[in-house]
């Protein structure tokens, strides 16, 4: 797979940042071009419409999720431990792409909603074989959701507990004990 042109990536970076910081309403083509430092014509060269720009973001997300699943499957500590540790947001490219996609879904984008459901399905397919069945898989997925949600709250006015260090190790041990085959 060849690397996309840098200008195209800059436009996607700008679109993603606008979505993350201000939501879908502010993510116009004009605002995206300005934030990317390109003309609107330059943006349209890479993405002929806002729908094409959204599709580009979803393609980026798909590539990042594929890499995440590969990391889950090859993690030395095991898939469940890796998945739970990575559920604490790191403001990395995958986190930003998920948040940007969620902003599109919140505004009614069926493609973004489908992409988010697909991520969850793919994660479940990667984790599922390492659990004792559907209930155990649901436990792993819900603990992951809780870690992600509480981490998102940590920067706001309603801080949530996000385990670190030995506390995270203990949580993973507890979840693995309840779920592993």
Question: How much is the average pLDDT of 9-18?
Answer: 95
For the chain, give the mean pLDDT. Answer: 90
Closest CA to 115 of 74, 56, 67, 75: 56
Given this model, what pLDDT does residue 1 score?
46
- Ranges of H-type helices in 107-163: 110-127, 134-154
Residues 6+ apart with CB under 8 A from 163: 147, 170, 171
Q: Give the CA dihedral 158, 109, 125, 141, nearest 10 degrees.
A: 10
Residue position matching structure tokens 């720009």: 53
Distance, CA of 108 to CA of 54 (rounded, Å) = 13
Q: Could you tell me the pLDDT band of residue 3, with boundaries at 50, 70 and 90? A: very low
- What is the tens place of the pLDDT at every residue in 85-141? 999 877 889 999 999 999 999 999 999 999 999 999 999 999 999 999 999 999 999
Residue 2 pLDDT exceeds 80: no
Q: Which tokens is 63 given?
A: 């590539």
Given this model, what pLDDT does residue 181 score?
78
Query: Are residues 67 and 166 in contact, defined by beta-carbon separation less than 8 angstroms?
Result: no
Residue 56 pLDDT exceeds 80: yes
- Provide the CB-side half-sphere exposure for 80 (13 A, CA): 25
Answer whether 0.85 is exceeded by the pTM. yes
The domains of the chain are located at 6-179
Q: In terms of CATH architecture, what is 6-179?
A: Orthogonal Bundle (1.10)
């Amino acid at each position: 797979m060849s690397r996309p042109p840098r200008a195209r990536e800059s436009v996607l970076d700008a679109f993603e940042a606008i979505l993350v910081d201000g939501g879908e309403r502010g993510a116009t083509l004009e605002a995206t071009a300005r934030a990317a430092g390109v003309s609107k014509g330059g943006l349209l060269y890479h993405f002929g419409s806002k729908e094409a720009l959204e599709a580009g973001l979803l393609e980026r997300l798909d590539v990042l999720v594929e890499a995440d699943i590969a990391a889950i499957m090859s993690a030395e500590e095991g898939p469940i431990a890796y998945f739970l540790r990575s559920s604490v947001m790191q403001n990395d490219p995958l986190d930003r792409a998920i948040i940007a996609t969620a902003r599109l879904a919140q505004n009614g984008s069926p493609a973004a909603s489908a992409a988010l459901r697909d991520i969850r399905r793919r994660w479940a397919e990667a984790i599922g074989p390492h659990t004792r069945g559907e209930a155990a898989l649901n436990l792993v997925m819900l603990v992951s959701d809780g870690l992600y949600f509480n981490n998102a709250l940590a920067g706001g006015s309603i801080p949530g507990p996000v385990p670190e260090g030995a506390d995270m190790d203990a949580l993973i041990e507890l979840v693995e004990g309840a779920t592993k085959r």
